[in-house]
Structure 1
């Protein structure tokens, strides 16, 4: 099956980010079923002793099952060179994976948690060329990350913000600064400060000591 056909087969996964609870519940159940099938295939792969030929058959069966759910659907990272994720056929699945974590973090954590995959995808998305559609999606992801309580690897989104910096992104960050959420105010201020200081590395030390953030972080 081609990469494009595989993405089309997982079109149902768009329901994972649906605002309709019923549609999202149906997608979550289908995803959970796919995860159970992948886990069963993994058990078959490692049970007993069997000829190498049979092992190859079971390995392919496991890989196919795992690729029908997250994070296994993203395993073919080797299909794109660094800096070229923008042309990767599975890019829609990568963006869906990140948007799912951004919009429904608890469901993502329960059903598909993979902090390493999140980190790699964000970094590669920051490093690739951005057409108008991809840039718009990345601006959305930065805003979503800024407006919610901080989660593991969210600091990586600064890379994306620097890569797609522009008036539209800064306008959204300023609106987040004026929101009623203290977390959003702090995070948006930090990202804007780093956009204004491109020479400053986005390290844990900088996050803990930057001028606008220090008072809030020390409380």
Structure 2
């Protein structure tokens, strides 16, 4: 039972601890100390919904009708390219920031952006729904212990990234640091968006 729980934790971390659109957005907002809790809660809730859906059978539905993924791929690719352009514009004209000073992003905007970066990413479905759902079901009667482990992994990661990013605030008081971060985010979003559209 404990081994299954631990396997769930490690598998969950292996999939979510990666630089992606969702994590990049959370990191940036965490550094700014702006709307962090709503973003973290949306990320966590999305993981819980997708993984649970995978365990109870949505993964089989998506696998049966693969046409769903190409649609998500196109929408996600366009959105990521737009997000990358926006980040590039920020990198072009960076501004320094004192600790805790944000730019006034509303909770609604933060939530909608997080939802888009999460649910328009086909890799999210493949990882959270298909892969974790399949692995969880392989444990049969103990599958919910595995699922509990993935929930623990998501909780630790998102809260840690979101609220731990504030430790980087002194560094990002300089405009140059924001230019590097936003430039990196823009390049990553551009590559990922292009890959989704052409894959």
Indicate the structure with greater helix content. Answer: 2
**What's the TM-score once normalised by structure 1's chain length?**
0.21
Structure with greater contact order relative to length (CA < 8 Å, sep ≥ 6)? 2
